A and B are shown apart, each in its own frame.
Chain A
Amino acid sequence: MGNALPIAVRHLSKAYGAVSVLDDVDLDVRPGEFLTLLGPSGSGKTTLLMAIAGFLRPDKGSIRFGEQEVVRLAPHKREIGMVFQNYALFPHMSVARNIGFPLRLRRVPAPEIARRVEAALEMFQLGGYGERSITQLSGGQRQRVALARAIVFEPRIILMDEPLSALDKQLRERMQIELRQLHDRLGTTTVYVTHDQREALTMSDRIAVLDRGRIARIDAPRAIYDHPGSRFVAEFIGESSFLDVEVTDGICRAAGSVVRAPHVPVARGRCVMMLRPERLRILDGSESEAMNRFDGTVQSAIYQGDTLLLQIVLADGSPVTLRMATRGDDAPPPAGGSPIAVGIAVGDTVLLADEGRTAA
């Protein structure tokens, strides 16, 4: 539909008293992009979204939609489709009147409203629900109505504030795919807020990780997952175990082993090694790549259906977690207390500067 407008945020700041919730934020959302703002609560992600929507007046900064400066524009003039966490459907209106609301405001002729509402209902598998009351709908259906209402007037930009957080896990995962497909079809620039890292990885073109009112990292999901760049981002996206690394004369030691890595962030001193559970393997001597090897003891094995989790304590007492896919013909998992050798390919080994800041 050609609604591919870039958003440019510059020097956006907002403080409540001495607490800075947005600290000189710069952000570029590319035309047609699905960008997710990810961060723990209090990181400023919702504040940033609300500033883009116009519901929050920043202390300073610039927000541009394409060529237009909007930082002082009232929200109802911004032409934004917004989806709220609790759907924000009007309880005193039917499904069809909810969806038709933005069209009536734009003085679209009644027959055209009826046609477009009907088309939107069909698009979201809500055919025949037009006259229902909002209270008669399930959570998933309400979510669809909220989406239909937000896109029916072909907004320039779509903003979503944790729209799936009220749904149960299965429905949430299905809606993630549906939302992404919807975005691919419409091509509208979308900014999405979530605290769920898996959701962010599933849906986004790029993820901006926020930390204390600043953007800690912005990149494509895969790049962020594999190379988080800081311990905070590594902890926030995906699971990991961390090992303290001692660097002396270019040699890295962790948990009693000498380790190698493609990139060492410090010349000497301390850094941390990120171990993704699914990248860690049990070593049996058949590995073809160069591996960093650690010896340890199995503490417990947890069967989770699709995967098996091994809690392992390394020689120096550091706990690490190993995740492996299960198969029908698996040998029984190693018993608690048995010795084990695990390793991670040198190519997968990520060392991060230890900035002493954790996500927890």
Chain B
Amino acid sequence: MSAPALNLSRDVDGDFHAAALRRDHWRERLGQAALAAPALLLVGVMVLLPVGWLFGLSFQDDAGAPSLEHYRRMLAEPSYGRTFRTTFEISLATTAICILLGYPLAYFLSQLPRRAANLCMIAVLLPFWTSLLVRTYAWLVLLQRSGLINTWGMDLGLWSEPLQLVHNVGGTLIGMVHIMLPFLVLPLYSTMRGIDGDLLRAASSLGSTPAHGFWSVFFPLSLPGLAAGSALVFVLCLGFYVTPAMLGGGKVTMVSNRIANDIELFFNWGAASALGVVLLAITLVVLVLAARLSRGAGLFGGGH
């Protein structure tokens, strides 16, 4: 088979394929954009439209006329302020406990050989694979007045009256920390894994004790992962519904419980929407701040 002869003279007086090459370029771009179209459509229909609709509802009174009534009520009624305060306190406390428990855990995992770390990671991730509802019920079973912990505690003579372990802030925190911990450990672990062991060896050869090496080198370099994980946990806590509803026993009212009440009990879509809008705004502010703090790291994509 002979190769087709190149006919250069044909193009010498033309534009050397410039127009055709440009066309190819745009066709390729269009093809790539088409791949993203289904996802974009889904986001548009399932996210943007409902959020826009809620946004609209929140600025209407019950008759459908434009009004700031719902927002005014939120400022005027102290119960709303309490709800937001509870939400923030519970979220902050959950995040703080997750950091205290999660940082040493992630550190321990990051120092293990990779195979062992992967096995341990399965243990961390196991809760992810069971239903949130099941896990929360399990805590209920463990913590209630006649639950395992109270029974054992009293059998062992540690305390004589059943302790109030659930249907309060403490029970809510236990459940939330348990569910949120993997969200903190995962980004933190991957950041810690990325810290070059030679850096600590270098610090050591230059005269650092192991503790000094940790605080001067390892800890600062793990901060982006810590910021990403903490932001993730905090934001997820802000909108958490199931666990506070079940383990809080009506004593812990977070914003999402309030939203549910507004809709289920009072059919007040406008008030619920306004709460949703405010929560969304706060969440965005937290995310932007966290992105600033952990610039270029972890959760928010990007390199070093």
**Does A75 contact B204, Cβ atoms closer than 8 Å?**
yes
Instruction: Tell me the smallest distance from the CB of B222 to a CB of chain A, in Å.
Output: 11
Q: Which residues of A contact B204 (CB under 8 A)?
A: 54-55, 74-76
CB atoms of A101 and B205 under 8 A apart: no
By the criterion CB–CB under 8 Å, are B205 and A92 in contact?
Answer: no
B201, B206, B220, B221, most chain A CB atoms within 10 A = B206
Within 8 Å of chain A (Cβ to Cβ): is B212? yes
| Binary per-residue interface labels of chain B (183-221) against chain A in the complex, 1 for a CB within 8 Å, 0 otherwise | 000000000000010110111111111101100110011
A88 at interface, CB cutoff 8 A: yes
Q: Are A88 and B207 in contact (CB under 8 A)?
A: no
Q: Does A86 lie within 8 Å of B198, measured CB to CB?
A: yes
Q: How many of chain B's residues touch chain A, expressed as a range?
A: 20 to 34
Task: Report chain A residues within 8 Å CB of B216.
Answer: 101
Within 8 Å of chain B (Cβ to Cβ): is A84? yes
State in angstroms the CA–CA spacing of A250 and B132 once bound together. 87
Q: Is A80 an interface residue (CB 8 A)?
A: yes
Interface: A53 (CB within 8 A)? yes
Do B201 and A105 have beta carbons less than 8 Å apart?
A: no
A154 to chain B, nearest CB (A): 12
Residue B304 lies at the interface, judged by CB distance under 8 Å to chain A: yes
Q: Does A129 contact B (CB under 8 A)?
A: no
- Nearest CB to that of B195 among chain A residues? A91
In terms of DSSP, what is the predominant structure of the interface of chain B?
Answer: helix
How many A residues face the partner with a CB closer than 8 A? 28
A357 at the interface (CB under 8 A from B): no
Task: Return the chain A residue nearest B213 by Cβ.
Answer: A76
Tell me the smallest distance from the CB of A139 to a CB of chain B, in Å: 15
CA distance A101 to B203 in the complex (A): 8
CA distance A81 to B207 in the complex (A): 10
Asked whether B198 lies within 8 Å of A102 as measured between CB atoms, the reply is no
Contacts of A102 in B (CB 8 A): 206-207
Q: Which listed residue (B205, B209, B220, B304) contacts A82, Cβ 8 A?
A: B205
Answer yes or no: A149 CB below 8 A from chain B CBs: yes
**Which residues of A are found within 8 Å of B205, using beta-carbon distances?**
53-54, 75-76, 78, 80-82, 150, 159
Contact check, A90 vs B199: say whether CB atoms are below 8 A apart: yes
Q: Across the two chains, which residue of chain B brings its CB closest to A53?
A: B205
The distance in angstroms between the C-alpha atoms of A54 and B203, with both chains bound, is: 13
Q: When the two chains form their complex, are residues A88 and B196 in contact, meaning their CB atoms are under 8 A apart?
A: yes
Q: Given A84-B201, A91-B304, are A149 and B196 also a contact pair (CB < 8 Å)?
A: no
Q: Is the CB of A90 within 8 A of B217?
A: yes
Within the assembled complex, what's the spacing in Å between the Cα atoms of A328 and B82? 91
A106 / chain B contacts, CB cutoff of 8 Å: 207
User: Is B208 in contact with A82, judged by CB distance below 8 angstroms?
Assistant: no
84-112 of chain A: CB within 8 A of chain B = 84-86, 88-92, 101-102, 105-106
- Minimum CB–CB distance for A44 against chain B, Å: 18
For window 30-46 of B, CB contacts with A under 8 Å fall at: none
The smallest C-beta distance from B225 to any residue of chain A, in angstroms, reads 13
Chain A residue nearest to B205 in the complex (CB) = A82
Chain A residue at minimal CB-CB distance from B212: A105
B208 and A76 form a contact (CB under 8 A): yes
Check if A68 is an interface residue, CB within 8 A of chain B.
no
Chain A residues lying within 8 Å of B196, measured Cβ to Cβ, are 86, 88
Closest 9 A/B residue pairs (Cβ): A88-B202, A102-B206, A82-B205, A88-B198, A105-B207, A75-B204, A84-B198, A76-B204, A92-B220
18 contacts between A and B (CB under 8 A): A53-B205, A75-B201, A76-B204, A76-B206, A76-B207, A76-B208, A76-B213, A79-B207, A82-B205, A84-B202, A86-B196, A88-B202, A90-B203, A90-B217, A101-B216, A102-B207, A105-B212, A135-B304
Give me 13 other A-B pairs in contact (C-beta within 8 A), A102-B206, A150-B206 excluded: A76-B205, A76-B210, A84-B201, A84-B202, A86-B198, A90-B217, A91-B221, A92-B217, A92-B221, A101-B216, A149-B202, A150-B205, A159-B205
